[in-house]
Amino acid sequence: MTSRERILAAYAHRPVDRIPCSPWIYAFLLELYGQCGIDAHLRAQEEFGFDVHANPGIFDHVTELGVSPSYHLPDVEYRREESTEGAYKVVRRIFRTRSGTVTDVTRFPPPDRVYGVSPNPIRTEHLIKSHADLDCARHLITDKSRTDFAPLRAQEKRVGERGLVSLDIRSPISHRAAEAYGMENLMVAYYEDRRFFDELLALYHGEMMDEVRIALAAGVKHFFANWFYNSMSTGWSPAIWRNVFAPQLSEMTSAVHAAGGDVNLYDDGKCMAIVDILAGCGIDVLTTLTPPPVGDVDLAEVKRRIGDKVCLMGYVDLHYVIKMGTPDLIARTVRAAIETAGPTGFVLGTSDSIRDGTPIENVRAYFDAARKYGKPK
């Protein structure tokens, strides 16, 4: 089987020639090769032997944690003001709309200061500050019909049968409401101003669904649902998931399934209390199944509860097993994961990207174990 065939067979719970192995690895590749794009992944595939998953994003978002020189906002006047605060670059964005003006401020750490992959920008002033800013925010949904799908098609062609390319689609919170208003503010609003909370999420749910519909019309079949801002590890509860997030996710999966596509949901935190809710939303794949102590996933229990409906992907702890562990521990963990969640409906992966600073002998031990124990008996 090709890597692409192997992954899609696992998605569909069909037999495979070996368990697909598709870890997140970009951080390690950045250290190893000095780059972490698709070419680096394909180079690493030749060196280590694994099945590539690529999840490019192509849609333009005003709410993204960062700044852009321009946006597809024909009816909005946009400008930036830059300054410095010590070693930090500070950028203020000003959006003048027909309904008023909104601004935000982002601080960028110096590029030579690196912690892991890199330090994130810091948003010190959010775009939406109150209910009064919602009318302005409606003007800041970029024109998705102008999206260029050429980069996605080019990556699909570059990967070919060597892996699977899925389109990154962010949740109404991920890189949207939580960046526009602030995660803590959003959680407080759920309890203290539910009407505002609902209107804010509805705005960005609409943006997400526009992206899904446009992508489906363009022939996209594989979707990477980037929902880690919705994780229980950030503070959301099962009740909020059931009452608020699940209907939004269900609408997405229903639209994708109606067009013959699939949805891979990404949540790298705790999820044991909501796995049945997630399965009920119709997702095809659940990633990353993070085990304790970082997450809470009991792989055998998740397999028992939803493994007949949902392909399970990930699991091996990137820090305590792959980075800090021994080759023997890595091999035992990989073998146990495969025996627990295989032989169908499972893609061996990691709890997040294999990190820089991971001993290369540990990385090789992970891939060696995947090949050794991944073949059906």
Residue 114 has pLDDT above 70, yes or no: no
* pTM (two decimals): 0.95
- Identity of the residue numbered 171: S
Amino acid 115: pLDDT? 58
pLDDT bucket at 156, cuts 50 / 70 / 90: very high
Q: What is the pLDDT of residues 272-291, one digit of tens each?
A: 999 999 999 999 999 999 99
User: Does residue 20 carry a pLDDT above 80?
Assistant: yes
Residue 242 corresponds to which tokens in the numbers above?
């059931």
The predicted pLDDT at position 116 comes to: 59
**pLDDT tens digits for range 178-219:** 999 999 999 999 999 999 999 999 999 999 999 999 999 999
pLDDT at 157 over 70: yes
pLDDT at res. 118:
67
For residue 113, the model assigns a pLDDT of 59
112 has a pLDDT exceeding 90: no
Which pLDDT does position 377 carry in this prediction? 72
Look at residue 117 and tell me whether its pLDDT is greater than 70: no
Contact 15, 9 (CB under 8 A): yes
Q: Check: CB of residue 231 under 8 Å from CB of residue 271.
A: yes
Mean pLDDT lowest among 105-119, 195-209, 313-327: 105-119
Q: What is the pLDDT of residues 32-91, one digit of tens each?
A: 999 999 999 999 999 999 999 999 999 999 999 888 888 989 899 999 999 999 989 999
Report the phi/psi class of residue 300: left, alpha or beta, with left for phi > 0 and alpha for psi in -120 to 50: alpha
Confidence of residue 2 (pLDDT cuts 50, 70, 90): very high
Q: Highest-confidence range of 26-30, 117-121, 329-333, 373-377, by mean pLDDT?
A: 329-333
Given CA atoms 33, 35, 41, 43 in this order, what sign does their dihedral have? negative
pLDDT tens sequence across 239-265 = 999 999 999 999 999 999 999 999 999
Share the mean pLDDT of the chain.
Answer: 95
Burial 171-198 (b: 16+ CB within 10 A, else e): bbbbbbbbbbbbeebbbebbeeeeebbe
